Amino acid sequence: MTDETDRWGRVRRGNMAADRFTQIRNALFRDPRLSFKAKGVFGLISTHRDGYGITPDTIAAASTDGVSAVKTALRELERYGYLTRERERRPDGTLGTSTYFITDQPETDPETLPEPQNPRSEPEGDYPPVDKPPVDNRLHKKNNNPKNTNEQNTSAPAARSAPDGRRPPAVPSARARSGCAAPEPPHPPPRTTTRPRSVRWVVTALPPQLRRTLPDRLPASLTDAVTAALEQGRTPDQLAARIERRWNHHGHAARFHAGQITRPVGVAVALVRPGECPDPRCEDGHNIDTGAACPRCEERRADRRRATDAPSTAAAVPRQRNSAPAALTVARYPECPGNYGLCGRPMPVDSTLCPECATQQAREAV
């Protein structure tokens, strides 16, 4: 006799209409700590089934944002517990690849967060209310008795003219002396808590391998560099792009993996600090708004090129008078790409930086 269980086998879940919809907790979208970009990336990842692998490149391919912006959103989700990371350990003890998981139920429940307080105080009126009216403006009880009225009229001037010993003598204001309205003193800007939060956000955008080597208490030099970059008009996302660009294209990543960085704080400061160009919209030789080459950086590069070419030209003139073939042997050295592409000094053919920039880079790494 055939067993009933063997005849039926195992029932598996098939294609369901619910697979075409995504259900996400409302608290995630109402979390004031998350940007709309992070919420959108979370929503896109949630549209895939459990176990489906997705990378920042595939997320960027499905949107108009770049890979850098997607990584910034993923770091934001990880910071607030919506993205968790598990890293496997190989049998030999070394760390393997990392696997990320999303959840709309972080350890810190966004519904239990305190209500955000308005950091700015309400404006005060010119005549704030008081508990008791002042003596000069005290209201009198209406009295139609002619005798009392005459006594009040007789004593009123004396009462008004009598000085109040509790108050200093009145000094005429600038408005009264000049006959015109004097400008009001400027009020100090309201203090907010967004600046420290933005500084911490930018620090989390540093490369993870570099961030792990930093001290637990952030040095003042790093926070000052981030604050200066923010006050120059950069957004945290723009500073995150600056960090990634300088880390990969200015040789810091290669020197880190080669074990040549002994002062990680100096490297972190170099990744976020503003450039040397006086134009506040210049971003490492290009305009942050248009992407065009910065004209001031071009002028500085041309000035340095002329300054370095002048001695070699003057030294080559006597040799040209003595022998023409000797002048043809003067070699043209390549320009140094250091100082974020603004150096322009000649450097040896077999070198990557001029001596000045190499010394500066070694000083930052030590």
Range with the largest mean pLDDT of 110-114, 161-165, 201-205, 315-319: 201-205
* Res. 32: pLDDT tops 80: yes
Q: For 95-140, what is each residue's pLDDT tens digit?
A: 777 777 888 888 777 666 655 554 444 444 444 444 454 554 455 5
* CA–CA gap between residue 115 and residue 77 (Å, rounded): 20
Residue 252 Cα distances to 209, 260, 309, angstroms: 12, 9, 30
Query: Which position has the token pair 């956000």?
Result: 201
**Which tokens hold the place of 160?**
């008004």
Stretch (H or E) spanning 88: strand 83-89
Give the mean pLDDT of 285-305: 86
Range with the largest mean pLDDT of 185-189, 303-307, 321-325: 303-307
Q: How confident is the model at residue 270 (pLDDT cuts 50, 70, 90)?
A: very high
* Res. 211: pLDDT tops 70: yes
Residue 254 Cα distances to 82, 208, 266, angstroms: 31, 15, 16
pLDDT of residue 325: 47
* Res. 76: pLDDT tops 80: yes
User: 259: buried, middle or exposed (CB in 10 Å: 19+, 13-18, 0-12)?
Assistant: exposed
Range with the largest mean pLDDT of 72-81, 160-169, 193-202: 72-81
* Res. 324: pLDDT tops 70: no
User: 54: buried, middle or exposed (CB in 10 Å: 19+, 13-18, 0-12)?
Assistant: middle
Question: pTM surpassing 0.75?
Answer: no
Residue 66: which of 254, 238, 310 has the closest Cα? 238
Q: For 128-169, what is each residue's pLDDT tens digit?
A: 444 454 554 455 555 555 555 554 554 444 444 444 545 555
Q: How confident is the model at residue 65 (pLDDT cuts 50, 70, 90)?
A: confident
Tell me what the pLDDT averaged over the chain comes to. Answer: 73
Domain annotation for the chain: domains and CATH numbers: 20-108 (1.10.10.10), 195-274 (no CATH), 296-323+331-355 (no CATH)
